[in-house]
Amino acid sequence: MAFNPADPGPVEINFHEGCPTQSATVSLLPPEYKWSWFALDFIMLGFTLTGRLEHWAYPYIPKWADPYYEAYMWPCCEPEQTPSSYMLYLFSAKAPPFFLDLRFADCCLGITFSDLTLGFDDLSLCCGVTFDLKFYFTKAGFQYVLFEVENVPFICCGFALDFAVKFTVSGKEVSIKPKWVGVGQICVQVYGDVAMEGVSIIGIEVYGYKIRCDLAPCNYVEFLTVLAPEVVDEVEAIIGDVFEDEETEYAKFGICGKGCCGSEYTVDATIFFGPSGSLFGFTRVVVDMEVPLLANFSFTSSFTLPNAGTPEMSMGFIFRF
| pTM reported for the whole predicted model | 0.55
Residue that terminates a domain, selected from 104, 119, 140: 104
Out of 104, 128, 152, a domain closes at 104
Over residues 219-247, mean pLDDT: 88
Residue 16 predicted with pLDDT over 90: no
59 DSSP assignment: T
225: pLDDT strictly greater than 70:
yes
In this predicted structure, the answer to whether residue 68 has a pLDDT above a threshold of 50 is no
Kindly state the average pLDDT of the residues 155-184. 73
Q: Number of structural domains, the chain?
A: 2
Kindly report which listed range (84-98, 185-199, 247-261) carries the lowest average pLDDT score: 185-199
Residue 180 counted as domain residue: no
Confidence of residue 125 (pLDDT cuts 50, 70, 90): low
Residue 95 lies in a domain: yes
- Is position 212 within any domain? no
What is the domain extent for residue 35?
Answer: 1-104
What amino acid is encoded at 86 in this protein? Y
Q: Is residue 23 scored above 70 in pLDDT? A: yes
| Domain C-terminal end among 104, 138, 172 | 104
For residue 168, the SS3 value is strand
Question: Residue 301's pLDDT is what?
Answer: 93
* Main-chain phi, psi angles of 28, to 5 degrees: -85, 160
Q: For residue range 95-117, list pLDDT tens digits in order.
A: 988 999 999 999 888 899 989 99
The angle subtended at Cα 179 by Cα 176 and Cα 183, nearest 5°, is 165
Please report, for residues 65, 315, 319, the alpha-carbon distance to residue 294 in angstroms, rounded to integers and kept in the order given.
28, 17, 9
DSSP 8-state code for residue 280: G
For the chain, the first-to-last Cα distance in angstroms comes to 19
Pairing of strands 98-106, 85-95: antiparallel
pLDDT, residue 158, reads 64
pLDDT tens across 235-291, in order?
888 888 889 888 999 999 999 988 888 788 999 999 999 887 666 788 999 999 999
